């Protein structure tokens, strides 16, 4: 299945408490379960005013549906073409 990077503009994201981050994580997970889709959340990186989330899904529309139902913005959705890492260099 395709992998996507979702950029989410969330002012103050880097200042969210552990409890706030837990609540957002629970909301995302509940939405995935409720939609019954093949969306899988892999992980997210929190920066000062954004999050960058890695999701696996059949298509971009499933990502948009998740964002709409969860209320968590999906500012930009980019499908991953390839993954490289230090092992790729060997």
Res 61 pLDDT > 90: yes
Contacts by 18-27, CB closer than 8 A, 24 or more apart: 21/46, 24/72, 27/70, 27/71, 27/72
| CATH number attached to the domain at 3-89 | 3.30.70.3090
Residue 60 confidence class, pLDDT cut points 50, 70, 90: very high
* 5: Cα separation from own chain's centroid: 7
Cα angle vertex 70, ends 69, 72, to 5°? 120
Tens-place pLDDT, residues 17-47: 999 999 999 999 999 999 887 899 999 999 9
Hey, where are the domains in the chain?
Answer: 3-89
Identify the CA nearest to 75 among candidates 2, 5, 3, 15.
5
Please state the rounded mean pLDDT for residues 67-84. 96
Residues 5-17 pLDDT 10s:
999 999 999 999 9
């Amino acid at each position: 299945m395709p992998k996507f990077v979702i950029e989410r503009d969330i002012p103050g994201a880097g200042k969210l408490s552990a409890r706030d981050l837990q609540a957002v994580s629970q909301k995302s997970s509940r939405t995935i379960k409720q939609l019954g889709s093949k969306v899988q959340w892999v992980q997210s990186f929190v920066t000062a005013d954004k999050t960058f989330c890695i999701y696996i899904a059949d298509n971009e529309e499933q990502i948009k549906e998740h964002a709409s139902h969860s209320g968590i913005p999906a500012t930009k959705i980019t499908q991953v073409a390839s993954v490289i890492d230090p092992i790729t260099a060997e």
